[in-house]
Each structure stands twice: as structure tokens, then as C-alpha cells.
Amino acid sequence: MIALNLYFKLYAHNVPVNGGDRSAIYNLHAGTVVMISRVQYDVLKDTPHHTIEQLGLRYAPAQPELVYNYMQTLVSNDLGFLTKEPQRFPDVPVQWHLPAHLHIAVLDVNKKYYALQPVLRQLDQLLCKHLELRMHLDQFTQRQITGLLDYLNTAVFRSVSCITEYAPWISMEKLEEYHKNYGKLEHLLVYNAPEIAEKPSSSGIGWTSGGIDEWNDGPSSYKDKHVINMHYFMEAQQHNPYFNRRVYIDKWGNIRNSQSDGKVFGNVNDHVLSTVIRSSEFREKWLISPDKVPRAQRDPLRYAKVDDGQEQD
């Protein structure tokens, strides 16, 4: 039997979120969600102010044991704990900060239309964290690729992914060598390649005879369309995490928000990236948080969903 004179407190990484017909508890450590009713959400929001006995009498006066059993279930599932002093356990502050002007840059590289190196230097100055290069390696010599990887390994990028169409000089052995020697090279994906029996030794290496669509839009996409962690949750309070601090440069050098968004904000051949991304027009989609999207406002999973703009009304 649960102690009725105590208070119940969710662990700080378990955050209740209200919805329309349903609500949810986000476990931001485990990356999971527990769906709950609206009444259960109301009870949880009241736990800092009332003992378990008071909650039972407040929300189910005819059957207070329903509330008692619910509190016991939460404790048994390690979602919270009992305490005499709930005020000693404050909620996690809702705040988000990224010490960088850009989080991710996706580049469709074509030497015919723009030079890659000046763009990379600008991204380095903007402290861009993640870089995805969509390349045609037959436009480059092996020496040029080695020089590019040497530069990227010393630049600010935390991780680099490369998606490339097959070129005759590419082999599984060469991919393994690059992946081993360049620590920031997180993914190396080759498409339209001949079928081979050899299998990659790392999950970061991909080899397919299929087209580029085989990679589901690349490492920068989200395959399951849900992300549940502290960073994403906090970012989603004020931003759209898909668009926020993202830039896409197409094969002609046009500067866009993403691959799926056709609006052009300039071209790298005659525009400075830092000027473009600081403009309020370019940042407009960064600030469309789930709470600003009418059809998302009643969705209890709104702070976990990846929205590439298709649901913005």
C-alpha cells in the first residue's frame, strides 16, 4: 500500500505533455513515451501541491483508490518517487542553447556550378556542427579527395557524411581506409555501384547497386520521424528542430532551407552565407515551433515529431 501522506514526484527527465484527447509522459533519458489520459495528466501537474491522499479525494472522491493505484504504478515503473518535500526537487529548466550559428549543412556538390572549398571555409567560420556532402567522386581525383578529407578533419565539423555515386576508382577497401583514417567521417555511402560479395566492416559504410533514394534522403534525415531526448525536446519548445540552424545548398549553389523546400535565398557564388542565414526571412521556419502549428497543438507527441514543413498550416 502506497503511503498516502507523501507527495509523488516524477523524475526530472520524465516530463508530462498535454494533448487533445490524450497526453504523454516523455522519458527523456530512455527515449520512450508513455501515453496517459488527460485526467492522469491533470493529476501529475497537481502532485507538487497535494499529498497522494489529497489527490485521490480531489480527482476521484468516490473511488480514491484509482488515484492511489495510479501513483503506485508510476513508482513501480520507476517513473517517479515519493517524498515529504517535493519543493526540494525542481523541474528541469526549459531552455535550449547551441553555441554555433549552424547545426547542419547539406551540400549537393557540383564543381561545374560552384567551388566547394570557399563554401566549406564559410561553414567552418559559422561553427557548423554536422556536414553532409552529396558528391560525384568521378569529378575528383583521389588526391583531391584526400586533400578534402585532410581539411575536414581539422575543421570545426563534429561529423561528416558523404553520399556519392560510384566511380571506377572506388572500392570497398578504399572506403574502409577512409573511414578508418578520418575520425570525423561518420558515414560513407555509395550508390549505383556494381554488386560485390564483400560486406562493409562498419555500419558507417554503405554500398548499394540501387539509386540515391536507397539511403532515405541520407544521414541528415530521420527514418522513424520521432526523436525523444532532452536536447530535441528543449529545442522544440521554441523552434522547429528539423529546420533550426540548417542550410541546404543545391547543385547550382542556391541557398535553401532544405532539400524539400524550393525557396531560394541567394547563391553561394554571389552571396555570403553568414548574411543569408542571419536574415529574418531565412530564419522564419527555424522559429515555427510545434505549438505554433494548429494541427500539431493537440498532439501529445508534438515535441518528438520531425516536421519538415509538410504539416505547417
Mean pLDDT per segment of 10 residues, for the chain of length 313 residues? 94 96 96 96 97 97 97 96 95 89 96 96 97 91 92 96 92 93 94 89 90 66 75 96 96 96 96 97 96 94 86 47
The CA distance from 43 to 56, in Å, is: 9
Any idea where the domains of the chain sit in the sequence? 7-88, 104-221+244-287
What angle do the packed helices 52-59 and 65-76 form, to 10 degrees?
A: 130
Q: What is the pLDDT of residue 307?
A: 86
Same fold, 7-88 and 104-221+244-287: no
Q: What is the pLDDT of residue 217?
A: 53
The CATH-assigned architecture of domain 104-221+244-287 is 3-Layer(aba) Sandwich (3.40)
Locus of grid cell 488527460: 38
The CA distance from 89 to 127, in Å, is: 36
Beta strands, E only, the chain: 7-10, 14-17, 22-27, 32-37, 80-83, 104-108, 130-136, 159-165, 185-191, 205-207, 246-249, 255-256
What residues are paired with 93 via a beta bridge?
A: none
Cβ neighbours of 10 (radius 10 Å):
19
Q: What is the number of alpha carbons within 13 Å of residue 130 lying toward its C-beta?
A: 15
Q: What is the pLDDT of residue 129?
A: 96
Q: How does pLDDT run across 265-308, given as a tens digit for each residue?
A: 999 999 999 999 999 999 999 999 999 999 899 999 999 999 88
In CATH, what number does 7-88 get? 3.90.930.60
- Identify which of 301, 293, 297 has the alpha carbon closest to the alpha carbon of residue 309: 293
Note the helical H segments in 91-214: 116-125, 142-154, 172-181
Please give the grid coordinates belonging to residue 204: 558507417
Q: What is the pLDDT of residue 198?
A: 86
- The DSSP output letter for 305 is B
Q: What is the pLDDT of residue 212?
A: 83
Q: Are 74 and 80 in contact (CB under 8 A)?
A: yes
